[in-house]
Structure formats: C-alpha cells, structure tokens
Amino acid sequence: MKRLVDNLSVLLIGVFLAFVMAIIIAPFLYSVVMSFDPRSYLGSFPPPGLSGRWYAKFFSDERYMAALRTSLSVGLLSSVLASVLGALAAFGLLQVRSHRRRVWLDGFLAAPKLVPNVIVGFALLLAFAASGVRPGMLALTAAHCLITLPLVVRSVSAALQGIRPSLVEAAMSLGATRARALWDIVVPLARTGIVVGFVFALAVSLDEVAASAFLTTTDDVTLPVVLISDMKANFDLTIAAAAVLQMAAIILVVVVLDIVVGLDRLFGEGSYGHREE
Amino acid sequence: MAKGEGKSTLRPVNWPLFPALAVVAGLLMAPLAIVLIMSTRQAAPGAAGGIAGPYVFSLANYVAFLHPTYLRYAGDTLWLSLVATLISVTAAYPIACWLAFARKTPWRRIVLASLVITLYASAVVKVYGVSIAFGPNGMRDWLAAMWSVGPSNRLVTSTIVVIGLVNFLAPIAILMMVAPLQQINPSLGAAAQSLGANRITAHLTVIIPICRGGIAQVSMLVYAAAVSAFVIPLILGRGQINFLSNLVYARFSEVADFPGGAALSIILLVVTLAATLGLGRLIGGGHRPWQRAAA
C-alpha cells in the first residue's frame, strides 16, 4: 500500500513538474530555433530550413549597434561603480560593532532591491527633472548603479562572513598599518565576492528595462529597451537573433563562473552541504 | 558575535559605508520622497507633466484609483501574480529538495548550471520566447481550445501572462529554496519513512514544517517579484492585461500625468513592501527577507 501511494504520488508530481519544466525550457528552444528561420515572415514552427540572415541583419543594423554600445558603456561603468561602492560598504559593515545598527544599515543598503524598478525609474525621472539632470547616459548609469549596488554588497558581505576583526588586529599587532592589514588580509578574502558581484551587476544592467525606459533619449537608448519597443511594434526575427546572442553571452559567463568559483558556492550550500575550510 | 570583541583598542572605521549610503539616500530615498509629494499634488490634464500650478495638498489621485477600471488592473496584478507564485513555489519544492539532498553528480551540476543560466538569461529573451511559443503560430490555439474560448479571449491572454511569469519566477523560486532545505538533516526524511510514513507524508509532516519559515519567505519574495513585473505583462498582456507597473509607465509615456503616476507608484510600493517585509515576518522565519532578496 505504501509503495502504491508512493508511486502514484511520484507520478502525479512528475507530470506537474514536466509541465513547469516545459514552461521554463520551451520558450528558449523556440527563440533559438526561430532565430535561424530563413523565411521573411513569421511562419509556423518549426521553420523549413536554417539561415543566419537575422544575425547578419542584427549586426548590420546601425540602430541596434548604437544601442549595444550604449548598453555596454552604461553596464560597464555602472557595475564598476557599484562594485567599488558595494565592496567599500561591505568592508564598512564589517566594522560596525553593534548588531542592531548593522542590521539596519544592511537593510538600508538593500532597499533598492525591494523597490520595483518601475518606481525607481519614475522617481529618478522626477528627481532628475527637479535638479536639472537630463535623461541619457548619466541618468542611466546612476540608475543602474543604484539598482545593482545591493547585489555587490550582498556577495561581498557573504565572502567576508567569518573574517573577524581580530584578524586585522592580529596583523596590526605584528606591525602592519591599518590600511596594509585591510589590503593584505581582507581584500584577498573578498576578491571572489567582488568578482561575482561585478558579473551579476553587469548581467542585471545589460538586461534592465523597467527603470531605463524612463531615462532614455532617442540617442542614448539601451539595447533591451530598443528590443522591447520593437517587440511591441512588429514581429521581426532580428529580435530573436539579438535575444539568442544575449543568452549565449550569459551561458559563457555562467560556465566561466562555474569553473572559476563553482556554482555550488553561489547557490546551494548549507549546514549539511560540504564545508571546505 | 562575542562580547569580548567589542573591547577592541581600535576605533572602528565607518567612512567606507558613506558613499554607498549617500547613493541610496540621494538616488532612492530623496526621489521617493519627491514621488510621495507629487502623488498629493493636483493633476491638471494638458499642463506640462500634468501638474497643476502651485502646490495644493489633495488626495484626489488616490481617490481616482478607486474607480472600477483601476481596481480591475489591481485585481489582475494581484491575482495572476498569486496563481503564478503558487505554481512556481509548488514546482520549486521537489526540485529544490533534489538539488539540496542529491549527491553531487555531473547530472546535478548540469541542472544547477541550466537553472542559473535561465535565472540570469535576459528577461527580453524569455518574454520573446514565450510570445512566439504561445503566439498566433504557436501553442495559443491549444490554450484557447483548453478553455474552449476564442484565441483572443482575455482568459487566453491571462494564461499566457501566467506562463510568462512562471517562466521567469520558477528558476528564482528553485534556487532560493535550496538554502533553507539545506539547513535540514537529510536523514530526517529517511527516518520518517523507515517509521512507516510514505514519501509525501514524510515531507508534509517532517520536512515542510521544519523549513516553513524559509518556504514562506521564498514565496513572499517570488510574489513581490511577480507583482512588480514590468516587461512580461507589457508584451504578453497585449494591452488586454495591464499590471500596476505598466500603468505607472503609461502615466509617463502616454498621458503625461505625473501626479497620477506618483500615486500609482506609492500604491504599488506599498503592495510590494507588504509582500516582502510585513507578511514574510508575520508567517515567521529567522532570516530577514532582504538577506535572501536574490535576483
């Protein structure tokens, strides 16, 4: 009887999981396959042949290339800024002795994560208008820096967990200056956290739409914003090609992260997972 | 933290915190205060930004929201997000259990890597994929047949929005749920089964009650992410389904009514914060929600 209940319930759960997995995976497959569609109209699935025409069109379209350049500049600039500010903040948090105060500061720094990006964009639009900052590169970079800051603080804080202030004090009692002790002891321990934070910040920035939509101009517009507005307007498969290229970049980053850092250290470690010292 | 550590001879250095605090204060808190003030201004259609001349306090923008049309948008936002959250979290539990308790085989590593890829894959990619997979040349007609209505019925569009949300939320839910499950000793489930429980009962009576707090918090964060979704309802809703976030944007891009957009923003903010902070704390769980606010 127990065996029967087990098997039946596993079967039911299996069917449900298969549905959800299909919802996760099918759209990706559709995008990838359709991006190689040789037809010039949106036909039925699967396409009758394969061609690279949409990729060629993407790279020869000056509007997309300009948007890609803007995206990369805003993304790199904002994630470098967020990494520096976030890493400094995580070092600072380590120095706060009062637990209560640290929790409050931690929560305050995480606030951009809790506010929907649409509201961040709208609020920044109003604030920039009031202070005379025009929409464009500067506004976009500021917005992306704010949105990605909590990611860096979190990943660096996680890397710093377990470093006690006494380590720094020990180094200083052996003759190091405070700056030297921080540089030699804390920074190397936090390096992984900073790199991971930077990569995730860049990934989030390159994909941001909801806040950016308020802050773009006709000249300074990021790639995802262009893709979304094109998506509303027509069914051009160049969008699929651009989307697939973006995904290829992400796969590359995740594989590199797995080799360099190990995904298990980022996701899925716990008290009963393996602990390495 | 041990008490003795407080007795350090060194003065703690706080300045590294200041730049980041200044960014959050200047680029988030102050602008939000402006939004709050803007939401209580009088709206004047036709004026620049839809703002009436001098500041006069009014709650008219909030009262206007009580119109049935707006309540329906709010209803769509809350209800479709709830359905998508329930599906995502329910599916996430068994997969996260497997990730948390299975041995570290290459197969597990592949699944973990694909989940991380889908987590960080561009939302644009996901939305585009769903829109063609369930478009006129895709599986939309199946959905229409399933509900036995026409292909452009609201019900079909709602289903596609829910599918888009699940596509976006399920990887988040799975990866966030692994952490609380890993705090559990895996032999507890085996012990329950050896004492006569079947697999389902072992989970329902032993494992789920232990990590109830963690599961509740994951659900709240997933729900908050659903409620604040922007691109998914914008593209997949095809104008038939709008979330509150889309209305905020429309107040900027279509009708230039900043006071109205500000009031909508405050309402959306309250809903999201209630989901992440208030309700999560109410149900319980040791961690502060923002510590796990990934993705």
Check: complex ipTM more than 0.90? no
List CB contacts (< 8 A) between A145 and chain B. Answer: 23, 27
Angle A250-A253-A258 (CA atoms, 0-180°, nearest 5)? 125
Of the candidates A111, A166, A172, the beta carbon closest to that of B28 is on: A111
Q: Does the structure show a pLDDT above 90 at A162?
A: no
Check B132 against A231: CB less than 8 A apart: no
Of the candidates B135, B253, B290, the beta carbon closest to that of A107 is on: B290
Q: Average pLDDT of A5-23?
A: 84
Tens of pLDDT, residue by residue over A198-251, are: 988 998 898 899 999 999 998 899 999 999 888 887 767 888 888 888 888 878
* CA dist., res. B86 & res. B83, Å (int): 5
Number of Cα atoms under 13 Å in the Cβ half of residue B200: 12
With an 8 Å Cβ cutoff, is B47 touching chain A? no
Best mutation target, B39, B112, B122, to test chain A (most A CBs within 10 A): B122
Of chain B residues 109-148, which have a CB less than 8 A from chain A? Answer: 109, 112-113, 115-118, 120-133, 135, 137-138
- Mean pLDDT, rounded, of chain A: 84
Query: What's the pLDDT at A165?
Result: 67
With an 8 Å Cβ cutoff, is B252 touching chain A? yes
Query: What's the pLDDT at B196?
Result: 75
Contacts 24+ apart (CB under 8 A), B27-33: B27/A124, B27/A127, B27/A142, B27/A143, B27/A145, B27/A146, B28/A111, B28/A112, B28/A115, B28/A120, B28/A123, B28/A146, B29/A111, B30/A127, B31/A120, B31/A123, B31/A124, B31/A126, B31/A127, B32/A115, B32/A119, B32/A123, B32/B269
Query: What's the pLDDT at B290?
Result: 40
Check B121 against A247: CB less than 8 A apart: yes
Q: Does the structure show a pLDDT above 70 at B280?
A: no
pLDDT-derived band at B103 (thresholds 50, 70, 90) equals confident
Q: Do the Cβ atoms of B232 and B168 come closer than 8 Å?
A: yes
| Strands in chain A per DSSP E | none
Q: Does the structure show a pLDDT above 60 at A115?
A: yes
- A270: CB partners within 8 A, 6+ apart: B100, B178, B179, B181, B182, B183
Q: Average pLDDT of A155-163?
A: 80
Check A124 against B27: CB less than 8 A apart: yes
Three-state DSSP class for residue A34: helix
Of chain B residues 71-100, which have a CB less than 8 A from chain A? Answer: 87-88, 90-91, 94-95, 99-100
* CA dist., res. B77 & res. B106, Å (int): 40
Check A243 against B124: CB less than 8 A apart: yes
Q: Average pLDDT of B248-258?
A: 89
| Count of Cβ atoms closer than 10 Å to residue B97 Cβ | 18
List CB contacts (< 8 A) between A45 and chain B. Answer: 132-133, 137-138
With an 8 Å Cβ cutoff, is B262 touching chain A? yes
By mean pLDDT, which of A50-59, A77-86, A260-269, B158-167 is the weakest? A260-269
Structure tokens at B205: 């009576």
Q: Does the structure show a pLDDT above 80 at B171?
A: yes
* CA dist., res. B205 & res. B118, Å (int): 32
Looking at per-residue pLDDT, the higher value among B114 and B18 belongs to B18
- Mean pLDDT, rounded, of chain B: 83
Tens of pLDDT, residue by residue over B58-92, are: 888 899 888 898 899 999 999 999 999 999 999 99
With an 8 Å Cβ cutoff, is B13 touching chain A? yes
pLDDT-derived band at B286 (thresholds 50, 70, 90) equals very low
List CB contacts (< 8 A) between B29 and chain A. Answer: 111
With b meaning 16 or more CB within 10 Å and e meaning fewer, what string describes A204-220?
bbbbbbbbbbbbbeeeb
